[in-house]
């Protein structure tokens, strides 16, 4: 059965077309200001890539913050259940999913069968999210791709104590003024994100295996900081950024009557 999952996040819009367990097409683009248009573009790109017609898609599920703007979706689901399903598909032993996206971070606890048992989200604050990293990257004149690599060169992570993005940015600026190395500052930023995430994970009751999904999983610095604090390995599946969209496409297969 051919299904589609579209995940409209605050920063990027992701989509996949799947036939059972096979990925036929994938795409990632910026969401921009119009989530509805982003959803439409994602679908067109996917159809072109897979060489399929809209009618051939049996069911389409939208997820993510912009899910309700995808008016052509057969159904919408929260990104929590989709990330759970996607992570379980990629790593069947996954019991804890750490998802750090553009504007929020969450920790999801799964059953053996991949059902969501519990979840916790960051409070109304951007600290510990992808947006936080973006702001920090700008303050340190680097890009997100360089961020992970640079932090690995840091020998002593600088102390970043603020839990607020705005205050943390000024904290970073004063560290720069004090002559702290960029590598150590970035390592410190990753450590502070990891510490916030671990606190959330402990709240929900962490069970291995731990899997990380979402855009921030591309940042090796955050992964390593998390592993260090948790003292456990953190696995990043292939296509980690697409996990929510994959989960949506899989859940669409389970509920074909949605169409």
Partner 1 sequence: MKKHKTSGKPAYYMESVPKMKKIMRNYYLKAKYARYLGKKVAWITSGGPVEPLIAMGIIPVYPENHGAMIGVSHTGVELCEVAEGMGYSGDLCSYARADIGASETGGGPIGGLPKPDMLICCNNICGTVLKWYEIQARKFQVPLFILDTPFVHTEFTKEAKTYVDRQVKDYIRFLETAMKKKFPYDKMNVVGKRSVEAMRLWQQVLNTATAKPAPFTAFDAFFHLALIVTLRGTKTVLRYYRFLLDELNQRVEKGIGMVENEQYRFLWDNLPIWHRMRWLSRAFAARNAALVADTYTSAWCGTVDNIDENDFLGSMGEAYTRIYLNIGVDQMAEKVLNMIDKYDVDGLVMHSNRSCKPYSFGQYDIQRIVQRERGLPVLILESDMVDARKFSEGQVETRIDAFMEMVGQK
Considering the complex, state which of residue 126 and residue 140 has its C-beta at the smaller distance from partner 1.
Answer: 126
Q: Does 187 bind partner 1 (CB under 8 A)?
A: no
Give me the least distance between CB of 35 and partner 1, in Å please: 11
**How many alpha carbons lie under 13 Å from residue 94 in its C-beta half-sphere?**
30
Give me the least distance between CB of 97 and partner 1, in Å please: 12
Instruction: Please provide the size of the chain in residues.
Output: 259
| Of positions 54, 138, 153, 203, contacts partner 1 by CB under 8 A | 203
The CA distance from 148 to 163, in Å, is 20
The CA distance from 136 to 182, in Å, is 11
Q: Does 65 bind partner 1 (CB under 8 A)?
A: yes
Give me the least distance between CB of 231 and partner 1, in Å please: 23
Considering the complex, state which of residue 140 and residue 211 has its C-beta at the smaller distance from partner 1.
Answer: 211
Q: Does 81 bind partner 1 (CB under 8 A)?
A: yes
Q: Does 89 bind partner 1 (CB under 8 A)?
A: no
Q: Are 252 and 244 in contact (CB under 8 A)?
A: no
Q: Does 112 bind partner 1 (CB under 8 A)?
A: no
Helix (H, G, I), strand (E, B) or coil at 190: helix
The whole-angstrom distance between residue 19's C-alpha and the CA centroid of its chain comes to: 23
The whole-angstrom distance between residue 123's C-alpha and the CA centroid of its chain comes to: 16
Give me the least distance between CB of 222 and partner 1, in Å please: 21
Give me the least distance between CB of 53 and partner 1, in Å please: 30
Q: Residues 118-147 vs partner 1: string with x where CB under 8 A?
A: xxxx-xx-----------------------
Give me the least distance between CB of 248 and partner 1, in Å please: 12
The CA distance from 32 to 34, in Å, is 6
The CA distance from 78 to 98, in Å, is 15
Residues with Cβ within 8 Å of 92's Cβ and at least 6 positions away in sequence, in order, are 114
**How many alpha carbons lie under 13 Å from residue 196 in its C-beta half-sphere?**
26
Q: Does 250 bind partner 1 (CB under 8 A)?
A: no
Q: Does 99 bind partner 1 (CB under 8 A)?
A: no
Considering the complex, state which of residue 116 and residue 201 has its C-beta at the smaller distance from partner 1.
Answer: 116
Q: Are 24 and 31 in contact (CB under 8 A)?
A: no
Considering the complex, state which of residue 29 and residue 202 has its C-beta at the smaller distance from partner 1.
Answer: 202
Binding piece for partner 1, criterion CB under 8 A, among 74-82, 91-99, 154-162, 181-189:
74-82
Task: Give alpha helix (H) positions in the chain.
Answer: 35-50, 79-90, 130-139, 144-152, 165-177, 182-204, 220-230, 243-254
Q: Which residues bind partner 1 (CB under 8 A)?
A: 65, 76-81, 104, 115-121, 123-124, 203
């Amino acid at each position: 059965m051919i299904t589609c999952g579209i995940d409209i996040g605050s920063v990027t819009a992701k989509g996949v077309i799947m036939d059972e367990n096979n990925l036929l097409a994938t795409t990632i683009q910026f969401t921009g200001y119009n989530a509805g248009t982003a959803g439409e573009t994602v679908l067109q790109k996917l159809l072109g890539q897979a060489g399929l017609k809209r009618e051939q898609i049996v069911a389409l599920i939208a997820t993510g913050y912009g899910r309700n703007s995808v008016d052509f979706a057969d159904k919408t689901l929260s990104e929590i259940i989709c990330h759970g399903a996607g992570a379980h598909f990629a790593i069947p032993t996954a019991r804890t999913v750490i998802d750090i996206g553009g504007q929020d971070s969450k920790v999801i606890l799964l059953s053996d069968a991949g059902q969501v048992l519990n979840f916790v989200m960051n409070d109304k604050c951007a600290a510990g999210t992808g947006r936080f990293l973006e702001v920090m990257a700008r303050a340190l004149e680097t890009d997100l791709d360089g961020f992970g690599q640079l932090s690995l060169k840091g020998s002593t992570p600088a102390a970043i104590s603020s839990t607020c993005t705005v205050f943390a940015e000024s904290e970073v600026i004063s560290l720069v003024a004090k002559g702290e190395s960029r590598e150590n500052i970035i390592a410190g930023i990753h450590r502070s994100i990891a510490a916030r995430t671990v606190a959330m994970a402990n709240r929900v009751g962490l069970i291995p295996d731990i899997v990380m999904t979402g855009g921030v999983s591309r940042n090796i610095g955050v992964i390593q900081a998390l592993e260090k604090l948790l003292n456990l390995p953190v696995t990043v599946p292939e296509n980690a950024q697409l996990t929510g969209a994959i989960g949506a496409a899989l859940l669409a297969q389970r509920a074909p009557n949605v169409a």
